[in-house]
Structure 1
Amino acid sequence: MTASPDVLEDAPKAQDTPLPSATLGGDSKRSVEQITLGLFIAVPFLALVAAVPLTWGWGVSWLDLGLLVAMYYIGCHGITIGFHRHFTHGAFKAKRPLRIALAIMGSLAVEGPVVRWVADHRKHHKFSDAEGDPHSPWRYGETVPALLKGLWWAHVGWMFDEEQTPQHKYAPDLIKDPVIRRVSRQFVLWTVVSLLFPPLVGGLVTWSWQGALTAFFWGSLVRVALLHHVTWSINSICHAVGKRPFKSRDRSGNVWWLAVLSCGESWHNLHHADPTSARHGVLRGQLDSSARLIRWFEKAGWAYDVRWPSAGRIDSRRAPRGNREDEGAAHPA
Structure 2
Amino acid sequence: MTASSDVSDVIEDVPRPAGGAGARAATLGGDRKGSVEQVALLLFILVPFAALVVAVPLAWGRGLSWLDVGLMVFFYFLGCHGITIGFHRYFTHGAFKAKRPLRIALAVAGSMAVEGPVVRWVADHRKHHKFSDAEGDPHSPWRYGESLSALTKGLWWAHIGWMFDEERTPQEKYAPDLVKDPAIRAVSRQFVLWTVVSLGLPPLIGGLATMSWWGAFTGFFWGSLVRVALLHHVTWSINSICHAVGKRPFNARDRSGNVWWLAVLSCGESWHNLHHADPTSARHGVERGQIDSSARIIRWCEKLGWAYDVRWPSASRIQSRRKPRVAEPA
- The answer for the alignment partner of 1:293 in structure 2 is 297
- The answer for the alignment partner of 2:158 in structure 1 is 154
Deviations 1:118-153 (A, max 9, x none): 000000000000000000000000000000000000
- The answer for the alignment partner of 2:230 in structure 1 is 226
- Tell me the TM-score normalized by structure 1: 0.94
- The answer for the alignment partner of 1:329 in structure 2 is none
Is 1:105 matched with 2:109?
yes
Give the Cα separation in 1 of the matches to 2:269 and 2:185.
Answer: 25
Match of 1:6 among 4, 15, 29: 4
Match of 2:23 among 10, 21, 24: 21
Is 1:317 matched with 2:321?
yes
Give the Cα separation in 2 of the matches to 1:143 and 1:50.
Answer: 34
Match of 1:54 among 53, 58, 62: 58
Contact 1:242–1:255 (CA<8 Å) still a contact in 2?
Answer: yes
Give the Cα separation in 1 of the matches to 2:228 and 2:29.
Answer: 21
Q: CA deviation at 1:322?
A: 2.0
- The answer for the alignment partner of 1:326 in structure 2 is none
Where 1:6 maps in the other structure, the secondary structure is helix
Q: Give every structure 1 segment of 4 or more consecutive aligned residues whose post-TM-superposition deviation is greater than 6 Å.
A: none
Q: CA deviation at 1:319?
A: 0.9
Give the Cα separation in 2 of the matches to 1:45 and 1:248.
Answer: 33
| Aligned partner letter, 2:289 | G
Match of 2:135 among 128, 131, 136: 131
Aligned ranges for residues 23-102 of structure 1 at < 5 Å? 23-58=27-62, 60-102=64-106
- The answer for the alignment partner of 1:269 in structure 2 is 273
Q: CA deviation at 1:16?
A: 4.8
Give the Cα separation in 2 of the matches to 1:137 and 1:105.
Answer: 28
Give the Cα separation in 1 of the matches to 2:17 and 2:313.
Answer: 36
- How many residues align structurally? 321
Contact 1:68–1:218 (CA<8 Å) still a contact in 2?
Answer: yes
Contact 2:264–2:292 (CA<8 Å) still a contact in 1?
Answer: yes
| Aligned partner letter, 2:232 | H
Is 1:114 matched with 2:118?
yes
Q: CA deviation at 1:286?
A: 0.1
Give unpaired runs (5+ residues) of structure 1: 324-333
Contact 1:254–1:266 (CA<8 Å) still a contact in 2?
Answer: yes
Indicate the RMSD between aligned Cα atoms, in angstroms: 1.5
Aligned ranges for residues 163-312 of structure 1 at < 5 Å? 163-312=167-316
Where 1:124 maps in the other structure, the secondary structure is helix
